[in-house]
C-alpha cells in the first residue's frame, strides 16, 4: 500500500514540475527541462519496477539516485534563475517527502533480509 502512495506523490511532483518547467526560458525548456523530465519519468518507472519485483534492493538504490539527480537539477535551475524561489521551495518539499518515503522503503527491505 505504501508503494502506491509514493507513486502518487511522484505523479503529483511530475504535474507540478511540468507547470514549473513551462516557465523556463525557451533555450532551457528543451535542454535542462528535458533532462529533469527524463529523471522524473525514470523515478516513476523505478517505483513501478520496485513495486513489482521480489528483490528490490538495487531498484530502490537506483530510485534513490534518480531522486538525487532531480534534487541537483532543481537546485541548479533555481541558482541559474530558471526556477522561482517559491516554486523551488515547493518542489524541494516534495523531494524531501518522497526521499523520506524512499528511505523508509529501503529500510523496510533491509529489515526483511
* CATH code, domain with 97: 1.20.1440.60
* Average pLDDT score, the chain: 94
Domain count, the chain: 1
CB neighbour class for 92 (10 Å; exposed up to 12, middle 13-18, buried from 19): middle
Residue 103 has pLDDT above 70, yes or no: yes
Cα three-residue angle 21-98-49, rounded to 5 degrees: 95
Does the global pTM surpass 0.85?
yes
Higher pLDDT: 110 or 71? It is 71
Q: Give the domain range for residue 34.
A: 2-112
- Please compute the mean of the pLDDT values over residues 11-34 and round it to a whole number: 95
pLDDT, tens only, 51-89 = 999 899 999 999 999 999 999 999 999 999 999 999 999
Cα three-residue angle 112-42-64, rounded to 5 degrees: 40
Amino acid at each position: 500500500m505504501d508503494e502506491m502512495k509514493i507513486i502518487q506523490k511522484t505523479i503529483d511532483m511530475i504535474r507540478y514540475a511540468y507547470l514549473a518547467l513551462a516557465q523556463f526560458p525557451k533555450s532551457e525548456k528543451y535542454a535542462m527541462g528535458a533532462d529533469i523530465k527524463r529523471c522524473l519519468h525514470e523515478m516513476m518507472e523505478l517505483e513501478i519496477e520496485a513495486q513489482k519485483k521480489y528483490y528490490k534492493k538495487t531498484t530502490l538504490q537506483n530510485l534513490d539516485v534518480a531522486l538525487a539527480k532531480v534534487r541537483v537539477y532543481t537546485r541548479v535551475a533555481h541558482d541559474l534563475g530558471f526556477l522561482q524561489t517559491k516554486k523551488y521551495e515547493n518542489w524541494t518539499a516534495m523531494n524531501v517527502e518522497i526521499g523520506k518515503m524512499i528511505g523508509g522503503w529501503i529500510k523496510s527491505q533491509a529489515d526483511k533480509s
